[in-house]
Chains A and B, each alone.
Chain A
Amino acid sequence: AQSVTQPDIHITVSEGASLELRCNYSYGATPYLFWYVQSPGQGLQLLLKYFSGDTLVQGIKGFEAEFKRSQSSFNLRKPSVHWSDAAEYFCAVGANAGGTSYGKLTFGQGTILTVHP
């Protein structure tokens, strides 16, 4: 069974500082990996995704993530955080069933990001 661990429940950074949110997954093959962001009372917005190919993926709002198979990780990074980035971030893994459409996503517990001015 697939699983996702986000070790940090809450992270606080200063505006302008760099950011790294950790995500570790468990899956028997190469997974589909996602990062979503959720603002309070809102739905989830997709930041970026990894399906295959280049292990460093670029997303929206200046975010990037790197897939490291040897570490079973997919950490999210941003070089300079803005106050508007304060939100909750979710890492998710989807089954890669040989290319067939199978949509169940397994989410981590989430990391709440607070940004200090």
Chain B
Amino acid sequence: NAGVMQNPRHLVRRRGQEARLRCSPMKGHSHVYWYRQLPEEGLKFMVYLQKENIIDESGMPKERFSAEFPKEGPSILRIQQVVRGDSAAYFCASSSQDRGNEQFFGPGTRLTVL
């Protein structure tokens, strides 16, 4: 059973470009969470999604950031017009419906904004 998969593992963007981060949850998992880890900091919750629904986006910046988890395909975290402060590691986690708090993490995508 493959774990949570994220791609790309490393992403370099110039200021003003768009970044798209993908997350495929573990097989059988219908809940996806995105977290951001800034240098020298712990992980901060961004958004919680179920298939075709955003459940909680209280940690998501109001502008430039969006997330989706379509019926088919991976979850996507999209950052428009990236700035240097967006440089961070972005982690995706997934859980099954009946074990909502037991989350399994992917390897992360490390975004560098030049």
- Contact of A102 with B101 in the complex, beta carbons under 8 Å: yes
Q: List 17 A-B pairs, Cβ < 8 Å.
A: A34-B101, A42-B108, A43-B107, A44-B93, A46-B102, A101-B101, A102-B56, A103-B31, A104-B48, A104-B56, A105-B33, A105-B43, A105-B45, A106-B45, A107-B35, A107-B43, A108-B42
Residue-wise, chain A 76-116 has the 8 Å CB interface mask toward B (1 for contact) of: 00000000000000101011100011111111111000000
Q: Which residues of A contact B59 (CB under 8 A)?
A: 104
- Contact of B102 with A107 in the complex, beta carbons under 8 Å: no
Q: Which residues of A contact B108 (CB under 8 A)?
A: 42-43
| Partner-B contacts on A (CB < 8 A) | 32, 34, 36, 41-46, 49, 51, 90, 92, 94-96, 100-110
- Contact of B102 with A49 in the complex, beta carbons under 8 Å: yes
Total B residues in contact with A, Cβ cutoff 8 Å: 29
- Contact of A107 with B98 in the complex, beta carbons under 8 Å: no
- Total residue contacts A-B, CB cutoff 8 A: 71
A106 to B103, CA, bound (A): 12
Q: Which residues of A contact B103 (CB under 8 A)?
A: 46, 103, 105
Across the two chains, which residue of chain B brings its CB closest to A101?
Answer: B100
A43 to B89, CA, bound (A): 10
Across the two chains, which residue of chain B brings its CB closest to A109?
Answer: B42
A45 to B91, CA, bound (A): 12
Q: Which residues of A contact B91 (CB under 8 A)?
A: 43-44
Residue-wise, chain B 28-57 has the 8 Å CB interface mask toward A (1 for contact) of: 000101010000011111001000000010
Q: Which residues of B contact A34 (CB under 8 A)?
A: 101
Distance to closest chain B CB from A53 (angstroms): 15
